[in-house]
Amino acid sequence: MALVGEGQHAKALAKQIFDNSDLLTEFDMSEYMDSDSVSRLIGVPSSYEECGVEGMLTEAVRRRPYSVILFDNVDMAHLAVVDVLIEILSHGRVLVDHGNSVDFTKTLIVLTSNAIDGNFRLWGCDCIWRSQDCPVKDNLYSDQWEQKHGCIYPTLLKEARRHFKPELFEKLDDVIVFKCLSPEQSMAIGRLQLTDIASSITGTKTYHVPI
C-alpha cells in the first residue's frame, strides 16, 4: 500500500473548515466487512422489550454535528454498509429508529480507497511504489511527473466506476487521485504526528519534535 497522506489531508480539512483538527472521526472500513457491521455503525432500533443501542457513527455525528467523517478503505466495506453510505450521501441523513434520523448535512464526508492502486502497473509504471525515484522539486513532484502520468487519471476514474456501485459514485462531489508521498513529504508528516504526540503528553500545542 502506497503512503499518500489521505488521513493527514482529512485532518487538515477539519482544521481548515471547522478550525479544529480534532473534529475528525475515522472509520476503517476493513473492520466493517461482515453483515453485522450496519448495526455497529448506526445502532440497533429499540423494541417493546429492550432499549435501542446507539451506533458508533450516529453517536459521533450527534455529539459533533460539525465535523469531518473519514471512511478509510471504503472498498472493503460490506455491501450493506455501502448502502448506508449511499443513503447518507443521497439524503443527508440516515434513519435509525422508528422514523427518527441523524442529520449529516453539517458534516464533510471523505471516502478513501486503494482498490485501483495496482492499475498504475498496467502502464508499466512503478513510481507509485518507488517515490524515491520520482523527480522532486521543492518537496513536490515536478511537472515532468505530471506530464507523464496526467493521462492516467481518466482511466483510473473509469476503473473506479467499475469497482463501486454507480449509486455511490454518482453521489460524490469530487474524486481525487493521490500520488504517493516523496520522502521529504513523508518526513514532514512524521514531524506533525510526533508533534501531536508530544503535545498530548505535555499538554501544549507549541512543543516541536525535531527529526
| Amino acid 132: pLDDT | 46
Would 62 be classed as within a structural domain?
yes
User: 208 or 202, which is more confident?
Assistant: 202
Mean pLDDT of 176-189: 73
Burial zone of 65 (CB within 10 Å; 0-12 exposed, 13-18 middle, 19+ buried): middle
CATH number where 156 lies: 3.40.50.300
Predicted local distance difference test score (pLDDT) of residue 111: 94
Joined together, the cell numbers standing for residue 167 give 449509486
Looking at the structure of the chain, the number of domains it has is: 1
| Domain-located, residue 210 | no
With respect to residue 23, please indicate whether it lies within any of the assigned structural domains.
yes
The answer to whether residue 1 is domain-embedded is no
**Average model confidence (pLDDT) for the chain?**
78
Domain region containing 121: 6-202
Kindly state whether residue 196 falls inside one of the protein's structural domains. Answer: yes
pLDDT top residue among 136 and 43: 43
From 15-24, 52-61, 147-156, 161-170, the region with the lowest mean pLDDT: 147-156
In a domain, 48, yes or no: yes
84-93, 111-120, 129-138: least confidently modelled range: 129-138
Predicted local distance difference test score (pLDDT) of residue 3: 47
Residues 6+ apart with CB under 8 A from 139: 182, 184, 185, 188
pLDDT band for 73, please (50, 70, 90 cuts).
very high
**pLDDT recorded at residue 182:** 66
pLDDT digits (tens, 9 = 90+) for 5-56: 677 788 889 999 999 988 999 999 999 999 889 999 998 876 545 556 789 9
Mean pLDDT confidence for 124-131 = 48
Question: Is 40 a member of any domain?
Answer: yes
Whether residue 110 has pLDDT greater than 80:
yes
- In 92-202, at which residue ranges do the beta strands (DSSP E only) sit? 93-97, 100-103, 108-111, 136-137, 140-141
Is 208 inside a domain boundary? no
